[in-house]
Amino acid sequence: MAGCKKKLIALKTIALPFFDEREPKLIIVTELDLDEVYLPIKELFVQMLVLFFMMVIILLPFEFYLGSLFVKPIADLHAVVNNIIAGDMNHKIEIKTADEIEWLGESFMVMMNKLQNEQLKLFNEKTYSQGIINSVVDSLVVVNLDGRIKLLNKAILNLLGYKEAELIGQSVKKIFLEEQEGRDNLPSYIQEIIKSGIVHNVGLSLVTKQGKRIPVNFSGEMMLQDGKINSIVGVARDMRQIMSIIHDLEEKKFELEVRSKNLIRMQRAMLHMMNDLQEASYAKGQFTSMVSHELRTPLSAIKEGVAVVLDRIIGDINDEQSKYLSIVKNNVDRLSRLINTVLDFQKLESGKTDLLMENSDINVITKSIYETMISLFTKKGLVLELKLCDTLPQVKMDKDKIIQVLMNLVNNAFKFTDKGSVIITTDKRDNFIQVAVKDTGPGIKEEDLSRLFQQFMQLQRKVGGTGIGLSICKKIIQMHKGRIWVESEFGKGSTFYFTLPI
């Protein structure tokens, strides 16, 4: 049977119309080859297989297209989500499917933009806060409730010589030392902050990386989040400079105390000296007044006697005798003027001189002095010139005293000027009348200007005098509420000014 073809025997019952149905039917037996029987099925199978592959070949690109159309947007969205999870917020979603996926992508982009804005806002706030923290000059540290360092600013890192990574997470006791530790290994100042919420002016020491101690003044306060203590922020101020200042102040205080004692002793000595000077000044005034008055009587007698002889009332004298008597008379007159000047000064110094104030014209006074002195200037070969302001008002003054001042200034200019000119000027300045006497004399050295109006001061002895003429002028002008001063350049003449209030 192994080599034989498979046969299929088919039985078929045929009902004949002329037979009764109850009678046996005609049965036909047919023998068929099995391959012939399955041949149509095989052909149909091959056709179906070919059709399947053709359908796969035809539909595969279409399926890829449909897959890219529906699956790619979802894959892109998934990729963007993964990037966002990884922290990259810069990717954009571009889905143009005009369906729910596009709407989902747009909603996702809106959400991502909001996240970016919030992230940027948080970053800016963090940068701003970090900038404020780093700009704090004092050392700043933030610690957790267990006493471990959470944040530091640049000031404390620079002060201690650490890098931030070396201290973050470390116990605060690594950089702060205190006399006595608190319970549970927490510093007492941390315990006090937890208990009271704040501490001020705690004396601690910072320890540098090299082990050096720095005295600081510590203040701290707890930071709350949602009503609970989140962390503790502390500020430490370097006390070395302040302590140095305090030390210097203590030394200065001691020096000041010593100086104060010395000043008190010097003050007492100066008071004694002032008393002695006042007594000496009084005695000098009394002596000067007495001597001046006592000298006046014999001088008057000498002056009268010399005048009688010179006038030849008691007899003739020869030319040689007349010459020497004239010298005596001139010196007696000069001595008399000196005595009168000293007496005037003593009166001014003692306040016994009263001013006779009345309206007067300074130009009239100036012209009278010009008329008095012009002959002397002409004889010496000098020019005396007036430059008067015609619009000056009359002012209250003691006419005789102002004549004395101006006469003294013009006379000094005459004595110290050998060639050139002397110019008298009047002018109005603000609420004052100003008078100036300018000469072309030798001028005054700068170092001598401040001494010029002192008593008994003569810068050039060759012209003679008491040295108190300018002191008298200054006293008179001050009594008139005015001011007197000099401007001079050595070798180029001098200008004396005085003012009188209008």
pLDDT attached to residue 283: 64
What is the C-alpha separation between 206 and 236, in angstroms, rounded? 9
Relative to beta strand 383-387, strand 395-397 is unpaired
How many residues in the chain? 502
Here the tokens at position 269 are 């000595």
Answer for the pair 494, 486: CB distance below 8 angstroms, yes or no. yes
By C-alpha distance, which of 378, 412, 385, 379 is closest to 484? Answer: 412
By C-alpha distance, which of 399, 369, 365 is closest to 384? Answer: 369
User: For the residues of 111-168, what is the DSSP string, one character each?
Assistant: HHHHHHHHHHHHHHHHHHHHHHHHH-SSEEEEE-TTSBEEEE-HHHHHHHT--HHHHT
The residues that bridge with 384 in the sheet, in sequence order, are 422
What is the C-alpha separation between 400 and 307, in angstroms, rounded? 28
Identify the sign of the CA torsion 265, 267, 270, 271: negative
pLDDT attached to residue 124: 67
Answer for the pair 93, 99: CB distance below 8 angstroms, yes or no. no
Indicate the Cα dihedral angle 172, 178, 183, 186, nearest 10°.
-10
Q: Any residues with CB less than 8 A from the CB of 271 and at least 6 apart, and which?
A: none
Q: What is the pLDDT along the chain (502 residues), one digit of tens a residue?
A: 444 455 555 555 555 555 455 555 556 666 666 677 677 777 787 788 888 778 777 766 666 665 555 566 667 666 777 777 666 666 666 666 666 666 776 777 777 778 777 777 776 666 666 666 666 677 888 888 888 888 888 888 888 888 888 888 888 888 888 755 545 567 888 888 888 888 888 888 888 888 888 888 888 888 877 777 788 888 888 888 888 888 888 888 888 888 888 888 888 888 888 887 777 666 666 666 666 566 666 767 777 777 777 777 777 888 788 788 788 777 777 677 666 666 666 666 666 667 788 999 999 999 988 998 898 899 999 999 999 998 899 999 988 889 888 988 998 899 888 889 999 999 998 889 999 999 998 888 887 777 777 655 555 544 445 567 788 888 888 888 999 999 888 888 899 999 999 8
End-to-end CA distance of the chain: 166
pLDDT attached to residue 384: 92
pLDDT attached to residue 462: 46
What is the C-alpha separation between 473 and 475, in angstroms, rounded? 5
What is the C-alpha separation between 64 and 151, in angstroms, rounded? 56
Q: Where are the alpha helices (DSSP H) in 162-239?
A: 164-167, 188-196
pLDDT attached to residue 461: 42
Q: Model confidence over 391-423: pLDDT tens digits?
A: 899 999 988 889 888 988 998 899 888 889 999
Here the tokens at position 73 are 């947007």
Answer for the pair 417, 382: CB distance below 8 angstroms, yes or no. yes
By C-alpha distance, which of 180, 125, 179, 169 is closest to 143? Answer: 169
Residue 302: exposure state from Cβ atoms within 10 A (0-12, 13-18, ≥19): middle
Helix/strand/coil percent split, the chain, to 5: 55, 20, 25
pLDDT attached to residue 1: 43
Answer for the pair 403, 369: CB distance below 8 angstroms, yes or no. yes
What is the C-alpha separation between 303 and 242, in angstroms, rounded? 81
What is the C-alpha separation between 332 and 341, in angstroms, rounded? 14
Q: Where are the alpha helices (DSSP H) in 351-386?
A: 362-380
Q: Where are the beta strands (DSSP E) in 274-420?
A: 358-360, 383-387, 395-397
Domains of the chain as residue ranges with CATH: 1-97 (no CATH), 136-238 (3.30.450.20), 255-353 (1.10.287.130), 354-501 (3.30.565.10)
pLDDT attached to residue 115: 76
Here the tokens at position 215 are 């005295």
